[in-house]
């Protein structure tokens, strides 16, 4: 059995002015989880150590915490794989205030979740007498999104939430997906429109951290991309994010390269004078620091090839059954 140092974040608001780390030594028996290691430390060494846990089976979502800087479920993770130079560093989840030791205030997480109306809203105008049925295929469509256990690991490690707490966040957007694609829900359009606005799906920077940290198949980034696609297909374009994506496609599709000067006015709307004026200070700051994109682009090798790829994708988008799929290896 290996001797390991658990370096654990400690903070008791009733005693401590500042947080600190406390080291505990533990012999790791083979197969022990991080949660059971903490349980052993608590019962054998220090009963004041505070953390959340309940099921011990990766179901309730309460034991999420950060280890070596990344969120995970303590009951689902073997401690031996977390050792770095003889140490396992354990911290509370990020993007939320610490209440005590490894316990954070989840209120911002719940608040964000409530904003997406995380319950089924069927059409009840026909006064149904029985439950609404789903085919296995219809359930399959939402199967992954329904596996979210609301552990908060994705919320903890989302980079956008680190700088903007108004962002709805990965778990809420994945939850919105779960109802948008539910065959029994009648608020699909309203839901898509709501999360296409500011702080919704288009504010995600697709860093992928949420999906990497997610202990289930909910994988928020994949769910976000599905909703973006659904928004495009439903014609929900009257927002900055969708216009930005369309502008990106237009400029690269036309010339084979990205005209960054085109994107800001395309995103806010060419006739949206107040928003265009609002962009001026940013443009000026970029100019002063020499960071503004060139007006006339340098020539780029094979830009024509990029244009052809876009044209092929456009063709496929409009005629998906044609044999000229973008990935069919056609030499054009």
Give contact residues for ligand SF4 (rule: CB under 6 A): 148-154, 158-160, 170-171, 174, 204-210, 213-216, 218, 220-221
The answer to whether the beta carbons of residues 236 and 282 sit under 8 Å apart is: no
33: which residues sit within 8 A by CB, 6+ positions away? 74, 75, 76, 77, 78, 79
Stretch that binds ligand FES, among 9-17, 55-63, 96-104, 265-273 (CB under 6 A): 55-63
> Toward ligand FES, which CB reaches closer, 56 or 122?
56
Residue 55 touching ligand FES (CB under 6 A): yes
CB atoms within 10 A of CB 276: 15
The verdict on 171 binding ligand FES (CB under 6 A) reads no
Using the minimum distance from each CB to ligand FES, give the nearer residue, 63 or 245. 63
Q: Residues 144, 224: contact at Cβ < 8 Å?
A: no
Asked if 75 interacts with ligand FES (CB under 6 A), we say yes
H helices of 22-135, in order, are: 34-44, 107-115
Listed residue (266, 177, 167) closest to 230, CA to CA: 177
Contact call for residue 63 and ligand FES (CB under 6 A):
yes
103 binds ligand FES (CB under 6 A): no
Neighbour order of strands in the sheet with 87-91: 20-28, 2-10, 87-91, 64-67, 70-73
| Nearer Cβ to ligand FES (4/34) | 34
Instruction: Single out the segment in contact with ligand FES by CB under 6 A; choices: 21-29, 53-61, 140-148, 272-280.
Output: 53-61
Work out how close the CB of 34 gets to ligand FES at its nearest, in angstroms, rounded to a whole number. 10
Name the binder of 65 from ligand SF4, ligand FES, none, CB < 5-8 A by kind: none
**Residue 73 binds which entry of ligand SF4, ligand FES, none, CB below 5-8 Å type-dependent:** ligand FES
* 41 neighbors 6 (Cβ within 8 angstroms): yes
Q: What is d(CA 93, CA 132) in angstroms, rounded to the nearest whole number?
A: 38
Q: Which residues contact 93 (CB under 8 A, 6 or more apart)?
A: 64, 65, 66, 71, 104, 152, 153, 155, 156
In the complex, minimum distance from the CB of residue 65 to ligand FES, in angstroms, rounded to a whole number = 10
Does residue 41 belong to the site contacting ligand FES (CB under 6 A)?
no
Q: How far is the CB of 150 from ligand FES (least distance, A)?
A: 10
Instruction: Give 21's strand partners.
Output: 9
User: Which of 39, 62, 177, 196 forms a contact with ligand FES (CB under 6 A)?
Assistant: 62
Of residues 108, 92, 243, the one with CA closest to residue 165: 108
**54 near ligand FES, judged by CB under 6 A:** yes
59 lies in the site for ligand FES, by CB under 6 A? yes
Separation CA 21–CA 137 (nearest Å): 50
Residue 176 lies near ligand FES (rule: CB under 6 A): no
Please say whether the beta carbons of 246 and 236 come within 8 A.
no
Nearest-approach distance from CB 305 to ligand SF4, in angstroms: 29
Which CB sits closer to ligand SF4, 213 or 266? 213
Q: Of residues 32, 60, 103, 225, which one binds ligand FES by CB under 6 A?
A: 60
Q: Using CB under 6 A, count the residues that bind ligand FES.
A: 12
* Residue 153 CB neighbours (<10 A): 28
Question: Which positions lie near ligand FES, rule CB under 6 A?
Answer: 53-56, 58-63, 73, 75
């Amino acid at each position: 059995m290996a001797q390991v140092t658990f370096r654990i974040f400690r903070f008791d608001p009733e005693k401590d002015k500042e947080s600190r780390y406390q080291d505990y030594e533990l012999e790791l028996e083979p197969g022990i989880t991080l949660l059971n290691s903490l349980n052993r430390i608590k019962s054998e060494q220090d009963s004041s150590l505070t953390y959340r846990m309940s099921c011990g089976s990766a179901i309730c979502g309460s034991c999420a915490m950060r280890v070596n800087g990344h969120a995970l479920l303590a009951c689902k993770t073997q401690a031996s794989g977390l050792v770095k130079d003889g140490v396992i560093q354990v911290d509370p989840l990020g993007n939320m205030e610490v209440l005590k030791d490894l316990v954070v205030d989840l209120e911002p997480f719940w608040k964000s979740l409530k904003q997406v109306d995380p319950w089924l809203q069927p059409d009840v105008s026909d006064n149904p007498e029985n439950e609404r049925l789903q085919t296995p295929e219809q359930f399959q469509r939402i199967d992954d999104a329904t596996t979210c256990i609301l552990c908060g690991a994705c919320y903890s490690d989302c980079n956008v939430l680190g700088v903007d707490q108004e962002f709805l966040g990965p778990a809420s957007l994945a939850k919105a997906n779960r109802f948008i694609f539910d065959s029994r829900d009648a608020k699909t359009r309203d839901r898509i429109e709501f999360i296409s606005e500011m702080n919704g799906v288009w504010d995600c920077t697709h860093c992928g951290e949420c999906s990497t940290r997610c202990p289930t198949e909910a994988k928020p980034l994949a769910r976000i991309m599905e909703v973006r696609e659904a928004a495009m297909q439903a014609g929900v374009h009257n927002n900055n994010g969708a216009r930005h994506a369309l502008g990106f496609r237009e400029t690269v599709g036309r010339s084979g390269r990205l005209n960054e000067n085109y994107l800001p006015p395309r995103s806010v709307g060419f006739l949206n004078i107040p928003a265009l004026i609002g962009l001026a200070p940013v443009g000026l700051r970029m100019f002063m620091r020499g960071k503004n994109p060139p007006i006339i682009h340098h020539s780029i090798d094979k830009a024509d090839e990029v244009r052809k790829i876009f044209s092929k994708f456009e063709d496929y988008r409009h005629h998906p059954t044609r044999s000229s799929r973008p990935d069919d290896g056609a030499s054009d």
